[in-house]
Amino acid sequence: MDEGTLKTAHKKIREHCVFGFRDKAYGQDTHNFEISLRQGITKKYQTSKSDLAKVCSAKAKEFLDKGTEGIKRKLQDGEYTGVDMVSEDLEQVKVSFLTGGPKFSGSQ
């Protein structure tokens, strides 16, 4: 799930809940309860958004760790003869990440 999907789901759920509340609520102080309901839904949305960011970060780190294993090994084994060689391998990891890596919040 990306951030746009989460935001759309949040808006849909919020409006559904508020509509359901308004439809069933009665009494004089329903406005304060509606505000409380909206705040609770927004708080849950913020928590979900934060959790999504953590999952996305972990997946990106996992992908990049796998992609840089070879570079680390080559560095430890002294296989690189210059910074240009390291830069080329890092560029390959970057391209691999951008084309085949995990997609996360706001990415296309």
Compute the distance between CA of residue 5 and CA of residue 52 in angstroms, rounded to an integer: 11
| pLDDT band at 108; cut points 50, 70, 90 | very low
Average pLDDT, the chain: 87
Task: Report, as an integer, the average pLDDT of 63-85.
Answer: 94
Would you state the pLDDT for residue 4? 81
Is residue 89 over pLDDT 90?
Answer: yes
Its pTM surpasses 0.85: no
Is residue 99 over pLDDT 70?
Answer: yes
Compute the distance between CA of residue 5 and CA of residue 8 in angstroms, rounded to an integer: 5
Would you state the pLDDT for residue 107? 46
Would you state the pLDDT for residue 104? 65
Query: Please, what's the b/e burial string for 20-41 (b: 16 or more CB within 10 A of its CB; e: otherwise)?
Result: eeeeeeeeeeeeeeeeebeeeb
Would you state the pLDDT for residue 31? 86
Task: Report, as an integer, the average pLDDT of 83-93.
Answer: 94
Contact 52, 9 (CB under 8 A): no
Is residue 12 over pLDDT 50?
Answer: yes
Radius of gyration (C-alpha) of the chain in whole angstroms: 23
